[in-house]
Each structure stands twice: as C-alpha cells, then as structure tokens.
Amino acid sequence: MLTLVVNGNRSTVDVDPATPLLWVLRENLHLTGTKYGCGMALCGACTVHLDGEAVRSCVTPVSRAVGKKVTTIEGLSAGLTHPLQRAWIELDVPQCGYCQSGQLMAAAVLLRENPHPTDEDINEGMAGNICRCGTYPRIRRAIHRAAALMAEGKSR
C-alpha cells in the first residue's frame, strides 16, 4: 500500500511501486486529465507537478511520489481561475485538446519561476511539450497574456 497526496487529497493505492505515476493517477485515482502520449518522456502530455516541479508522470515510478505533493491539471485551480487557464480560454488555445493539460502544467512552472518570460524563455520552457494540432502560436501568446494577467493581479 502506498499513500499519495494528490491535489491536497490523501489516498492509498495498492499497486506495484514501479508503476508509472501516470497510470495510478488515471486508473486508480480516476484523474484522467493527465494524458498518455508516448510513455518515454518525449511529448509532455503527462506533465504533473511533484512538489511544484514539472515531471513526466509516464516515466516517474509512483514510489517517487510518496511523501510529496502531487498536483495534476484537476488541481491547477478551482474553477479555471489560474491566469494560464484564463488566458487559454481568452485566446481559445486548444484544438483537439489532448495535449493541453500537459501544456498548462508545464507553463505553470515556467511562469512561477519566470513571471515575465521572453519568447526565448517560452521556447525553452515549452520545448518538451508536443502539440500535433499546432497550437504553438497561441500557447506562446497565452503565456504572455497570463504573465500580464498575473502582473495586473499583483498591482491591484
């Protein structure tokens, strides 16, 4: 039995400790917002936060998450209030939407570490996330927009 804290909720799961965190989130905890894309940390669709750091849950053994705080897309904000979610909605970023949980979770770490990213910073921070629909131009604009929303929020 392993104890996990995901989005602030404590649960115990009976799984092989080597099982990737991704499948425990999806199949045991029914948090299906985190997606399977490649299983090799190549596409970023499975990105979640482990103690605030972006990790690829498809290659992270669930045992590594024990004793740490796991945040998934379902826990990014209550009611789509995170500046990134607001910007994503304002600019209608998603197309098929499958990669977007991972994009948002990667962008959330980028913005927390760098509240005013340049295009270059965005290129670097988002390089690990693939979007097959080609929403990259909007992801870039939305990250800039979220940065502006965050700045507005602070100056209020």
Partner 1 sequence: MSAASRAASGGQATKLNRREFLKTGAAATGGLVIALHFSTLAPSEAALAAAPAEFAPNAFVRVAPDGAVTVIIGKAEMGQGVYTSLPMLLADEMDADWTRVHCEFAPVDPAYNHTVFGIMLTGGSTSIWSSYEQFRKAGATARALLVQAAADVWTVPPADCRTENSFVIHTASGRRAAYGDLAAKAAELKPPAAVTLKDPKDFKLIGKPIHRLDTPAKCNGSATFSIDVDRPGMLVAVLARPPLFGGKAKSFDATAAKAIPGVRQVIEIPRGIAVVADGYWAARRGRDALKIEWDEGPLAGYSSAKQRADYAALAKTPGVVARKEGDVAAALAGAAKKLEAEYELPYLAHATMEPMNCVADVRADSCEVWAGSQFQTFDRMTAAQAAGLKPEQTRLHTTFLGGGFGRRAVPDCHMVLEAVQVSKAAGVPIKVIWTREDDMRGGYYRPFFYHRLAGGLDASGNIAAWTQTIVGQSFLAGTPFASMIKNGVDGTSVEGAADTPYLIPNLLVDLHSPSLEVPTLWWRSVGHSHTAFVVESFLDELAHEAGKDPYELRRKLLARAPRHLRVLDLAAEKAGWNSPVPPGRGRGIAVHDSFGSYFAYVAEVSVAKSGALTVHRMVCALDCGPIVNPDTIKAQVEGAVIFALTAALRGEITLENGRVRQSNFNDYQMLRIYECPEIEVHIVESTEKQGGIGEPGVPCAAPAVANAIFALTGKRIRRLPIRAGDLRSA
- Alpha carbon distance 54, 22 (integer Å): 13
* Residue 39 binds to partner 1 (criterion: CB under 8 A): yes
- Alpha carbon distance 104, 76 (integer Å): 9
Question: Site for partner 1 (CB under 8 A): which residue of 4, 6, 29, 37?
Answer: 37
| Phi, psi angle pair for 70, to nearest 5° | -100, 130
From the list 49-57, 67-75, 108-116, 144-152, the region that binds partner 1 by CB under 8 A is 67-75
Residue 71 CB, shortest distance to partner 1, in Å, is 12
Question: Site for partner 1 (CB under 8 A): which residue of 50, 69, 109, 136?
Answer: 136
Cross-strand pairs, 56: 47
| CB-CB contact of 73 with 105 (8 Å) | yes
Question: Site for partner 1 (CB under 8 A): which residue of 111, 122, 146, 150?
Answer: 122
* Residue 46 binds to partner 1 (criterion: CB under 8 A): no
**Four-point Cα dihedral 142, 112, 35, 41, nearest 10:** 110
- Cα 156 vs. chain centroid, distance in angstroms? 27
Which residue number, 26 or 156, has a Cβ lying nearer to partner 1? 26
Q: Which residues bind partner 1 (CB under 8 A)?
A: 16, 19-20, 23, 26-28, 30-40, 42-43, 45, 72-74, 76-77, 80, 85, 88-89, 92-101, 104, 122-124, 126-127, 129-140
